[in-house]
């Protein structure tokens, strides 16, 4: 009983010593929770509709008291620093240390009493103020059950990570003997590993041409760095909570680390010498360890900075020498409080500089063969392959509904292409993957030689030299490969290479694989129960929506299209252009599109018509423009091409009342202009100069308005908008445009004008000639044989 009373007396006396901290924290939480909650209640009266005002107030208060509140995170960080540094601040004064350690009580008990007070100083005011805020919100009409649950979860969550951060600050205080040095020590313990990790990743990105930065998956190196920082882990878990991926295991892990760090703090408190008060470091053994770590970090950091400026080893070495020397000297001044001790540990300084130079050399010359990495075929279980630029037309994402009260009801939530591919692809053909990777490695080594020979930046070397190659549409693409080894380990590389004939067999083999197709095309993973309607664009400016299909009909057309699309070869895609587009929409897609088209402008019309051939009705959308966004507009994403060879798909559409017409057939064309393609003007990074193959003279043009000539050419031409949906389509070396007269109308004064202004005007559509299909007479007109 006496021991228990003594323990509580120690806590009581320590709280008296820290009344200022209690007052500061209590005042902060009082204004932060009860006052803000009461002030926000005034928003209810700003709404004429009380129910709407209460709903908005409920949403605001719930967010304010929840885990997601960023200001609460900030408060926890600041309070952990205040309480952690003040808990054992008496250790920085020799007279106070003598007094406290002269008390006839074990150090462990003294440590626990002060340590617990640091937690209670936050936990009690936070809990009281949070409870008062909840009661204020309930008294203003907020639902009690939901808000209490949100507040309770927030209390446990934030207190968990407060304790974790607080223990780290306490450790820094116990390892130092000065308040300022204790603060600096806290920064080192909190951020050293994440900063070191970020620097190492920067070295990977700058010096290794095949480094994959983790888009689509979280890089394991960065994950490891975050795990060693309580602040970074705290912020990450808040993000996980907001994304719905937070788990109870994260809280348990945080408490486990807190217990371990608390025990370590107790051990250090017992071993801490009393004469350490006033010194920079309480334990002499920690001085060289921290100095070495900080010196190496500063060396490689400044070395990378100077490399970024000039990209030469000379300047990088200069940065390493400067960074290491300056950091070493500053650390010695902090340790000894004496400028005479600047170079008292010369051997350690030399060792740190040599270590930093070794790190630079390993990365600069890829001594361990990072860019040359190729696993054995027998080691690869499966792989993920993302071929950039070859399928730019594919839409990744989904239609989302906004919260009530926002300006637009729906929006398209984009997902990056490689992120989707990394989540859905399980390509099993290890032989083909290694064959492709071998060519990627070979080209990467050529790029490295160019980088070394011409002393250019790593990222500048990603711009390919534009030179004539067979099938030159293959050039300049990013290839990301992630191997899943038999051990379960994932190894990722990213190559920037030129595609040409020697890689054609591997690509053909991949595109014929069902698992590869499911990883690249979201439609190949779709099932009939996910389809609400079928939308078809077979004519320019006209879209048909089949929205009364039975489940059997949906299944039939979806499986028919999937089968024909998956069996299409690269050779077929090279030779024929798409003739139309098709889309299989979900229920939310249909709601969003219907809602959007109801609010379209004067150039859009919506018509209801009956289609013979099946029971039900189709909605035909007609609009007068084609300049839609393929990325963000949910009305125009997720379309797939239909080729002339898709006979079963076209037959099904015909049976359901959709006659296939040419995409450009319904346009009134008054003229066609054709001219040779101009060679692109590019910057040659290898020789620091601009080069161009543009002709000095104006290019020859061929323009015709003859109806017979126009009709003849229209049978050959393909819409550039449709060709966009075929990455392998080979167009001929000409640019072509079809011109249509702008529809004229009378204005308010009775003057006939075009929709774009006064006088006759025209608008045009870009079209393409399939390779080898330009008529000889056109080449003659252009002055070419």
Whether residues 291 and 269 fall in one domain: no
**Per-residue pLDDT at 404:** 59
Whether residues 423 and 547 fall in one domain: no
**Per-residue pLDDT at 578:** 92
Of 53-57, 681-685, 694-698, 780-784, which gets the smallest average pLDDT? 681-685
**Average pLDDT of span 226-255:** 89
Residue 429 counted as domain residue: yes
Residue 661 counted as domain residue: no
Whether residues 625 and 713 fall in one domain: no
Whether residues 611 and 513 fall in one domain: no
Question: Cβ distance 460 to 222 under 8 Å?
Answer: no
**Average pLDDT of span 228-256:** 90
**Per-residue pLDDT at 632:** 52
User: Which contiguous run of DSSP H or E holds residue 671?
Assistant: strand 671-676
Residue 290 has pLDDT above 90, yes or no: yes
Residue 665 counted as domain residue: no
Residue 762 has pLDDT above 80, yes or no: no
Residue 666 counted as domain residue: no
Please state the separation of Cα 650 from the chain's center in Å.
39
**Per-residue pLDDT at 618:** 58
Residue 185 has pLDDT above 50, yes or no: yes
Tokens of 91: 């250790």
**Per-residue pLDDT at 214:** 67
**Per-residue pLDDT at 376:** 93
Per-residue pLDDT tens over the stretch 130-147: 999 999 999 988 888 889
For 582-690, where are the alpha helices, taking DSSP H only? 587-598, 647-655
Nearest CA to 354 out of 300, 285, 287 is that of: 300
Question: Where among 488, 518, 548 does a domain terminate?
Answer: 518
Whether residues 59 and 122 fall in one domain: yes
Whether residues 648 and 573 fall in one domain: yes
Higher pLDDT, 761 or 314: 314
Higher pLDDT, 527 or 47: 527
**Per-residue pLDDT at 475:** 45
Whether residues 464 and 393 fall in one domain: yes
Residue 311 counted as domain residue: yes
Angle formed by the axes of helices 230-243 and 248-271, to 10°?
170
Per-residue pLDDT tens over the stretch 641-692: 999 999 999 999 988 888 777 778 778 888 888 888 764 433 333 333 334 4
Higher pLDDT, 45 or 751: 45
Residue 590 has pLDDT above 90, yes or no: no
Residue 82 has pLDDT above 80, yes or no: yes
Whether residues 27 and 146 fall in one domain: yes
Residue 660 counted as domain residue: no
Distance in angstroms (rounded) separating the CA atoms of residues 152 and 139: 18
Distance in angstroms (rounded) separating the CA atoms of residues 176 and 92: 8
Residue 252 has pLDDT above 90, yes or no: yes
Angle CA 194–200–206, to nearest 5: 135
Quickly list DSSP for 295-345: HHHHHHHHHHHHHHHH--HHHHHHHHHHHHHHHHHHHHHHHHS-GGGTTTT
Residue 482 counted as domain residue: yes
Residue 614 has pLDDT above 60, yes or no: no
**Per-residue pLDDT at 705:** 87
Whether residues 468 and 512 fall in one domain: yes
Number of domains in the chain: 5
Residue 664 counted as domain residue: no
**Per-residue pLDDT at 346:** 86
**Mean pLDDT of the residues in the chain:** 83
- pLDDT band of residue 598 (cuts 50, 70, 90) is low
CB atoms closer than 10 angstroms to residue 369: 9
Tokens of 10: 């120690």
Full residue range of the structural domain in which residue 415 is found: 377-518
Distance in angstroms (rounded) separating the CA atoms of residues 212 and 31: 46
Higher pLDDT, 310 or 254: 254
Per-residue pLDDT tens over the stretch 533-579: 999 988 887 788 888 888 999 999 999 999 999 999 988 898 889 99
Distance in angstroms (rounded) separating the CA atoms of residues 508 and 501: 11
**Per-residue pLDDT at 471:** 37
Per-residue pLDDT tens over the stretch 329-384: 988 888 877 666 667 788 999 999 999 999 999 999 999 999 999 999 999 999 99
Question: Cβ distance 319 to 306 under 8 Å?
Answer: yes
Per-residue pLDDT tens over the stretch 12-36: 888 888 999 999 999 999 999 999 9
């Amino acid at each position: 009983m006496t021991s228990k009373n003594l323990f509580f007396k120690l806590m009581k006396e320590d709280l008296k010593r820290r009344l200022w901290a209690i007052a500061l924290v209590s005042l902060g939480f009082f204004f932060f929770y009860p006052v803000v909650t009461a002030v926000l209640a005034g928003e209810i009266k700003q709404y004429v509709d009380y129910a709407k005002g209460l709903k908005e107030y409920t949403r605001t208060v719930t967010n304010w008291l929840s885990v997601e509140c960023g200001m609460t995170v900030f408060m926890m960080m600041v309070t952990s620093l205040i309480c952690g540094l003040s808990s054992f601040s008496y250790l920085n004064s020799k007279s106070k240390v003598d007094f406290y350690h002269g008390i006839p009580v074990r150090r462990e008990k003294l440590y626990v009493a002060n340590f617990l007070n640091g937690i209670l100083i936050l936990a009690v005011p936070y809990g009281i103020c949070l409870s008062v805020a909840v009661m204020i919100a309930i008294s203003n009409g907020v639902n009690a059950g939901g808000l209490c649950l949100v507040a309770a979860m927030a209390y446990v969550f934030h207190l968990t990570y407060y304790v974790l951060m607080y223990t780290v600050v306490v450790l820094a205080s116990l390892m130092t003997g000065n308040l300022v040095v204790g603060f600096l020590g806290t920064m080192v313990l909190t951020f050293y590993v994440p900063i070191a990790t970020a620097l190492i990743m920067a070295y990977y990105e700058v010096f290794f041409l095949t480094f994959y930065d983790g888009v689509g998956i979280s890089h394991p190196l960065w994950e490891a760095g975050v795990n060693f920082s309580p602040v970074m882990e705290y912020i990450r878990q808040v993000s996980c909570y907001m994304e719905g991926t937070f788990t109870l295991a994260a809280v348990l892990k945080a408490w486990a680390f807190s217990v371990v760090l608390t025990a370590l703090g107790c051990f250090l408190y017992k071993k801490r010498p009393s004469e350490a008060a006033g010194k920079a470091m309480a334990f002499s053994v920690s001085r060289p360890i921290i100095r070495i770590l900080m010196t190496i970090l500063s060396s490689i950091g400044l070395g990378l900075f100077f490399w970024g400026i000039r990209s030469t080893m000379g300047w990088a070495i200069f940065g390493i020498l400067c960074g290491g020397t300056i950091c070493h000297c500053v650390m010695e001044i902090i340790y000894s409080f004496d400028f005479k001790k600047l170079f008292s540990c010369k051997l350690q300084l030399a060792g740190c500089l040599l270590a930093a130079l070794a790190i630079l050399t390993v990365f600069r010359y890829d001594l361990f063969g990072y860019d040359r990495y190729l696993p054995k075929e027998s080691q690869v279980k499966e792989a993920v392959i993302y071929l950039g630029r070859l399928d730019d037309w594919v839409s990744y994402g989904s239609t989302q509904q906004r919260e009530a009260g926002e300006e637009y009801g729906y929006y398209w939530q984009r997902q990056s292409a490689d992120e989707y591919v990394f989540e859905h692809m399980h390509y099993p053909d290890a032989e083909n993957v290694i064959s492709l990777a071998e060519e990627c490695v070979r080209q990467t080594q050529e790029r490295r030689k160019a980088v070394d020979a011409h002393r250019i930046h790593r990222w500048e070397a990603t711009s390919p030299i534009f030179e004539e190659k067979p099938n030159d549409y293959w050039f300049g693409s990013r290839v990301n490969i992630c191997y899943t080894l038999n051990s379960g380990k994932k190894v990722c590389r990213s190559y920037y290479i030129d595609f040409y004939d020697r890689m054609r067999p591997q690509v053909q083999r991949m595109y014929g694989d069902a698992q590869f197709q499911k990883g690249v095309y979201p439609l190949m993973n779709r099932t009939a129960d996910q389809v609400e309607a079928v939308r078809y664009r077979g004519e320019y400016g006209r879209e048909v929506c089949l929205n009364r299909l039975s489940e059997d009909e949906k299944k039939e057309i979806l499986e028919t299209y999937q089968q024909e699309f998956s069996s299409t070869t690269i050779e077929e895609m090279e030779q024929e252009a798409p003739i139309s587009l098709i889309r299989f929409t979900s229920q939310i897609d249909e709601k969003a599109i219907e809602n959007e088209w109801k609010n379209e402008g004067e150039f859009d019309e919506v018509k209801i018509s009956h289609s013979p051939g099946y029971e039900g009705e189709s909605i035909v959308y007609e609009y007068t423009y084609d300049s839609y966004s393929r990325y963000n507009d949910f009305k125009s994403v997720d379309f797939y091409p239909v080729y002339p060879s898709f006979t079963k798909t076209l037959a099904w559409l015909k049976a359901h009342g959709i006659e296939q017409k040419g995409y450009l057939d319904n346009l009134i064309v008054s003229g066609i202009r054709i001219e040779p393609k101009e060679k692109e003007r590019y910057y040659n990074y290898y020789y620091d100069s601009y080069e161009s193959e543009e002709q000095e003279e104006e290019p020859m043009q061929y323009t015709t308005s003859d109806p017979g000539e126009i009709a003849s050419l229209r049978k050959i031409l393909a819409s550039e908008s449709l060709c966009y949906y075929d990455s392998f389509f080979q167009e001929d070396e000409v640019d072509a445009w079809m011109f249509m007269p702008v529809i004229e109308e009378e204005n308010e004064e009775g003057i006939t004008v075009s929709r774009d202004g006064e006088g006759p005007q025209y608008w045009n559509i870009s079209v393409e000639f399939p390779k080898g299909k330009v008529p000889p007479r056109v080449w003659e007109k252009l002055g070419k044989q």
